[in-house]
Amino acid sequence: MKNAPKLWIIIPCYNEEEVLPVTAPLFMAQLKKMQQEGKISEQSRILFVNDGSKDTTWEVIKKLSKKDVHYIGITQSRNRGHQNAVLAGLMEAKDYCDITISIDCDGQDDIGAMDAMMDEYLNGNEIVYGVRSNRDSDTWFKRTTAQGFYKFLSMMGVETVYNHADYRLISSHVLQYFAEFKEVNIFLRGMVPLVGFSSTAVYYERHERLAGESHYPLRKMLGLAFEGITSLSIKPISMIASLGFVVSALSFIGIIWAIVMAIMGHAITGWASMTCIVCFLGGIQLLSLGIIGQYVGKTYMETKHRPRYIISEKTYESDSRELRKDI
């Protein structure tokens, strides 16, 4: 295809020394396949983003880049989390390519789905979401919690694509506008839909991890969910206000009832029930203060305007003509 678009595949990596030698050739095979079919330019690249790994991941990436010019890499000065690593790759790529596809390096997401993504892009869609068609490969617990995660986000007012993680195609045109989103607390699954532009989804089946261990245990999944809710929705604060109104109304009714009983000469007993009520209200107040404190803390972090990522080293020169989008 004449003037085929230049693609950069963005792959965040954290302690992936075991899986990279297995999946890197798979990504390369997919890249070569799309080049041969004329869907993408010969100047397309695979960008590995090392998220401050503690093992030899960065050394593996540097060896790959020396082996083939299509492999390139950047490393962050320290570990900043998966979302920041993906963002660093997208922001690095936006000035060098026409389109990006972000995907995890563990091989669980179907690499072949990139063909369908490219077809949708060539049909005019600037954002293409990779969506899992089913969760048959997950355990019952993981499947239930994951599906509950998306439903809860929707209930809290966060706009996401159901069963979509961070496997997506985004054009550089969209990324230029996405770069204007300056928040420090980021949740890409909820932020990308906010940019707008024409979008669609492709469906695929997820596989087992090819090597190594998952770096996303339940604790991190819950943290990501809470991050998404508090970064993109103020509904929890509205719920606290509603709860406060209901509790206040019930308390007022209780006061009226206590006064009436006292006037009628009835003894008011039940210290145990009173203790339970006091403890319940105290717990509600502490929980409410904790949620509000999370929003205050996020506001505090946003006002600092700290960088969301710092790239300490690259395997390529930033001004290389081989990488420029306009050649």
Ranges assigned E (strand) in the chain: 7-13, 45-50, 71-76, 99-102, 127-132, 164-171, 199-204, 311-314
- Statement: residue 296 has pLDDT above 90: no
pLDDT for the residue numbered 170: 93
What's the rounded mean pLDDT across residues 128-141?
73
- Statement: residue 129 has pLDDT above 60: yes
Query: pTM here?
Result: 0.72
- The pLDDT-based confidence of 182 (bands split at 50, 70, 90) is confident
DSSP code string of 204-266: E-----SSS--S--HHHHHHHHHHHHHHH--HHHHHHHHHHHHHHHHHHHHHHHHHHHHHTT-
- The pLDDT-based confidence of 174 (bands split at 50, 70, 90) is very high
Pick the closest to residue 146 from 156, 109, 112, 136 (CA basis): 136
- Statement: residue 246 has pLDDT above 90: no
Are residues 10 and 103 in contact, defined by beta-carbon separation less than 8 angstroms? yes
- The pLDDT-based confidence of 181 (bands split at 50, 70, 90) is confident
- Statement: residue 275 has pLDDT above 70: no
- Statement: residue 101 has pLDDT above 90: yes
What's the rounded mean pLDDT across residues 169-195?
85
- Statement: residue 289 has pLDDT above 70: yes
- Of 222 and 66, the structure prediction assigns the larger pLDDT to 66
Are residues 107 and 207 in contact, defined by beta-carbon separation less than 8 angstroms? yes
> Could you read off the pLDDT of 30-77 as tens digits, one per residue?
999 999 888 888 889 999 999 888 989 999 999 999 998 899 999 998
> Could you read off the pLDDT of 5-33 as tens digits, one per residue?
999 999 999 988 888 999 999 999 999 99
